[in-house]
Amino acid sequence: MKKIATLLGLSAISAMTLAADPLHGTKWKTIDDQTKKPLSIVEFREAPNGALTAKIVDVFTPGEAESCAKCVGKFHNKPLKGVQIVSDLKNTGKNSYDGGKITDPKNGKTYSFNAKLSNDGQTLNGRGYIGVSALGRSQTWVRAN
């Protein structure tokens, strides 16, 4: 009986690992859509409800890593490393994600967010917007790991 229980437990763990979202645990180099310069590295994690979050794990611009002066809430005046910039992003199938929110640390504003993972998994095309996607900005992030 113990062997069967152990086998079932291991099978469940294996199934959960295989079910993890393709973005879970990946790191991405964010690229400024205007200057085309790399800004930071963000890492995606899958929440228990299946939605994705992403936080800043490294900052490239000297001096900008000091604090998130324009961030609101618990990240206000905290170092940029550790700031969660993406929340509630949901996999909608076929490498597409929608329903998320993204915070721009430069101005502290939060926008609706959707993204599309390239077929080769090396780029993530994201769009932050207010209201409708046509009224927004796009960025292409490059896989960092």
With a CB cutoff of 8 Å and minimum separation 6, the contacts of 101 are 86, 87, 88, 89, 110, 111, 112, 113
Return the pLDDT at 79. 86
In the chain, the domains with their CATH numbers are 21-143 (2.40.128.520)
Burial class of residue 97, CB neighbours in 10 A (0-12, 13-18, 19+): buried
Return the pLDDT at 70. 80
Return the pLDDT at 3. 54
Return the pLDDT at 19. 58
pTM of full prediction above 0.95? no
Residues 67 and 105: their CA atoms lie apart, in Å, by: 9
Mean pLDDT, the chain, rounded, equals 85
Is residue 23 a contact partner of residue 44, using CB atoms and an 8 Å limit? yes
Structure tokens that stand for 44 in this block: 């995606």
